Chain A
């Protein structure tokens, strides 16, 4: 009898909320295909309720994550790079399928994504020195300014760059000590879900990152109007929805990142603009005297 070929175990791709992997409460899913139309998987189609659960999880996780030492956050982010490295082949295959790029390009994108975590990991305990400082006020007071994380950040992740783009918008949120609710690329969500599995096993506390697959056009408006979201990254929003989302964000005075009109080249050096956008300067005063 001929030896039969082993049947692989196919994965069910789910959401990532509060450190767990639930399906959408709505029960909805949508098929994800490769550029050539081949079926890859069914992704969960997150709903408004999923998004609200994700915001609750992100808010609950904020105290712990923002209160962790910068050294600790740095190590955790570095750990993400370590765990990603171990799954390098899987990411390369998923990015290749998702973005329809040559294997060599996929390799380079994944390597850059891993290196981004290392870069951001090193920032956690340097931001205060680079952006804060003591203020030489004209009086008998000691005054200093420290950058603090703004809170929960809503991220509409890039639609095209499924992994490097996602890491480029997510890592700066985490490096500052903020927590995130991310809506992944709608058409290319699979590398994002695999990344959430990496995050779940990298000592990132549950709820610090919540990753929803689905449509930015549907979820974006709930994210923009949610009163417990402090900042909003519109990178993955359609050009025609951006104004409306930014307008809705104004009702709670959210910090809205000025998304570039077209998706940027994520392989270029990131700079600290994104981290700056998620940081609040806090100035503290105390009298000096005997």
Chain B
């Protein structure tokens, strides 16, 4: 049989219009920050992509002050219908500049262009479009009370986002905050600040009033300055459970409201009656989408013993066909690991898996010599006590365990301090509903995986955080008295 090879189909990097230098966005303008400038790399090559001015504590003060002023004078007094139109404008501008943003995202983050183009950027636009419609309909969102009247915004939100879906996470944070009448100071991740700063340009193009959105690039120290700033009314954080706990501790005893979207170690449960070919696609999508840099990744495969050998064989065969390499190539399935640091962490955890006795299988796909790459890897013979079964790897590494009975599957799936997402594969409807009920996770994908939509609430149980993003529930995080049992 002839074998057809893919010819390279690279997206043009000029489309990203990468500038040499980017500045923080404070009070409606781009200004130099007082922090040490950072260099953001293209993880596919390890080369410097751009230099970014970062903020110092005084800049965080200015941003919070600008946001406060905008909140009090402009944004919260503005009728919802008018706020909505600004947010709609933003949604449209993201769509208009979608290709530019997609290429820039892939350059800065390392994710395959087909993912930034087909998932990240369109979903980010959808979040703004969805939330714009809420701005003048909050009275109908179910948070009004006879005593307090319609729900009120909190004030200034300090938001800190991760590097795995830079623009999409920004959209998850900023869209609901603006729709509910809050203003924002957002810190993008240290390694992926560029699309957030292009977003700032979009705010200018939308003529969003100055100070409503402020973007303050920097590292973890800037995040800490922001979340502990006394002028902040609300903190929203997406990132590691470790940092989430630190923020929760720092905010203990204050009146600052908090939502956390943290790590996960999702179980993807495959029963013997599952549509196996479909399940294989779902397993691959669950763990190898975005290089496994996904908090809700299906990183633990629980497969019923009777089909385990078959599933593993099919899985390896499928993974072997995944194309790893240039993120800008439209045929690439797996792009670059976001940073040298993350690559080192993945390697360390994979080594622990081998040391603890799990059987490693890694795709024989060619790995580029330059840049940060890790070939897709599947561990079998994994025990629940092993680090690769317990810790979030945040990379293209799948741990496979087996089970015999549905009850055992539930016990194994729930044996984790995390509770963000889970997957179920079976043709039996009653089993899907039973398992969806029994799994202690905020999102359950049945016969599918990694689906996201602005209308569908997303967020975790247990140590995966609290609060939801998306849907009506997501609004609660930005409204007074709506999510915290305040009586």
Interface positions of A (Cβ within 8 A of B) = 130-131, 133, 135-139, 141, 143, 145, 150-151, 168, 227, 230, 233, 242-244, 246-247, 249-253, 255-258, 260, 264, 269-271, 273-274, 276-278, 280-287
What is the bound-complex CA distance between A105 and B462, given in angstroms?
41
Q: Is B468 an interface residue (CB 8 A)?
A: yes
Are the CB atoms of A281 and B253 closer together than 8 Å? no
Q: What 19 additional pairs, Cβ within 8 angstroms, besides A271-B487, A285-B445, A285-B451?
A: A130-B142, A131-B142, A133-B472, A143-B455, A243-B252, A246-B252, A246-B253, A247-B249, A247-B253, A253-B241, A253-B248, A253-B262, A256-B252, A260-B486, A270-B487, A277-B484, A281-B442, A285-B448, A287-B447
Are the CB atoms of A250 and B456 closer together than 8 Å? no
Q: Which residue of B lies closest to A242 (CB)?
A: B253
Interface-central residue, A137, A274, A280, by most chain B CB under 10 Å: A280
What is the bound-complex CA distance between A209 and B241, given in angstroms?
30
Q: Closest CB of chain A to B252's CB: distance in Å?
A: 4
Are the CB atoms of A253 and B443 closer together than 8 Å? no
Q: Closest CB of chain B to A88's CB: distance in Å?
A: 25
Q: With contacts defined as CB atoms under 8 Å apart, how many contacts are there between chain A and chain B in the complex? A: 137
What is the bound-complex CA distance between A258 and B255, given in angstroms?
8
Are the CB atoms of A269 and B442 closer together than 8 Å? no
Are the CB atoms of B448 and A287 closer together than 8 Å? yes
Q: Is B337 an interface residue (CB 8 A)?
A: no
With a cutoff of 8 Å between Cβ atoms, the chain B residues found around residue A250 in the complex are: 245-246, 248-249, 252
Q: Closest CB of chain B to A135's CB: distance in Å?
A: 4
What is the bound-complex CA distance between A278 and B461, given in angstroms?
11
What is the bound-complex CA distance between A90 and B293, given in angstroms?
61
Against A, the Cβ 8 Å flags (1 = close, 0 = not) of B440-464 are: 0111111110010101111101111
Q: Closest CB of chain B to A232's CB: distance in Å?
A: 11
With a cutoff of 8 Å between Cβ atoms, the chain A residues found around residue B443 in the complex are: 282-285
Are the CB atoms of B262 and A138 closer together than 8 Å? no
Against A, the Cβ 8 Å flags (1 = close, 0 = not) of B95-114 are: 00000000000000000000
Are the CB atoms of B253 and A137 closer together than 8 Å? no
Interface residues of B in 243-272 (CB under 8 A from A): 244-246, 248-249, 252-253, 255, 260, 262
With a cutoff of 8 Å between Cβ atoms, the chain A residues found around residue B20 in the complex are: none
A-B contact pairs, 29 of them (CB 8 A): A131-B142, A135-B455, A137-B453, A137-B456, A141-B448, A141-B451, A145-B456, A145-B473, A242-B253, A244-B252, A247-B249, A250-B248, A253-B241, A253-B244, A253-B245, A253-B262, A255-B466, A256-B252, A258-B255, A258-B486, A269-B146, A271-B145, A276-B483, A277-B483, A281-B473, A283-B444, A283-B456, A284-B436, A286-B446
* Also in contact, A138 and B484, with CB within 8 A (given A255-B466, A287-B447): no
Are the CB atoms of A247 and B485 closer together than 8 Å? no
Contact of A264 among B262, B436, B466, B487 (CB under 8 A): B487
What is the bound-complex CA distance between A286 and B466, given in angstroms?
24
Are the CB atoms of A137 and B142 closer together than 8 Å? no
Q: Is B476 an interface residue (CB 8 A)?
A: yes
Are the CB atoms of A286 and B462 closer together than 8 Å? no
With a cutoff of 8 Å between Cβ atoms, the chain A residues found around residue B465 in the complex are: 253
Are the CB atoms of B485 and A258 closer together than 8 Å? yes
Q: Which residue of B lies closest to A277 (CB)?
A: B485
What is the bound-complex CA distance between A249 and B256, given in angstroms?
16
Q: Closest CB of chain A to B211's CB: distance in Å?
A: 28
Are the CB atoms of B436 and A260 closer together than 8 Å? no
